Amino acid sequence: MARVKGGPRAHARHRKVIKAAKGYYGRRKSCFRTAVQAVEKAGQYAYRDRRTKKRNFRALWIQRINAAARLHDLKYSTLMYGLKLSGIELDRKSLSEIAIHDEAGFAAIAKTAQTALDKQAKAA
């Protein structure tokens, strides 16, 4: 039986890794051994940071909502509680977009939340 060498298969595997390492600095983009390590580590960072990105964006949205709420003499937590009392179910992303792009709309939302808070304070 003839001997089978893995040349084309190995070359294809090397080419795949080198292609994935394109744009890396120094030997990491051209030397197969270091490229394998670099691509593997990059994959780990990418996996981890896909989850971290969600946290970062939520924090950003909260900061934006808080900044806009403070212009209407409300804190973030107070605004969110007022929205819950008034039955407005907006997620933080869309509330943040409204705060940035539609100041009058956010003012109306803040006013609605404030009236719900005032109504609840009178009841108590």
Distance between CA atoms of residues 113 and 106, nearest Å: 10
DSSP per-residue string spanning 9-20: HHHHHHHHHHHH
Print burial letters for 74-102: b (CB count within 10 Å at least 16), e (below 16): bebeebbbbbeebeeeeebeebbbbbeee
- In order of their start, the domains of the chain are 9-123 (1.10.1900.20)
The pLDDT of residue 58 is 97
Rounded to two decimals, what is the model's pTM? 0.80
The pLDDT of residue 54 is 97
The pLDDT tens digits for 61-100 are 999 999 999 999 999 999 999 999 999 999 999 999 999 9
Residue 38 has pLDDT above 90, yes or no: yes
> From residue 108, how far is each of 2, 36, 66 by CA, in Å?
80, 55, 15
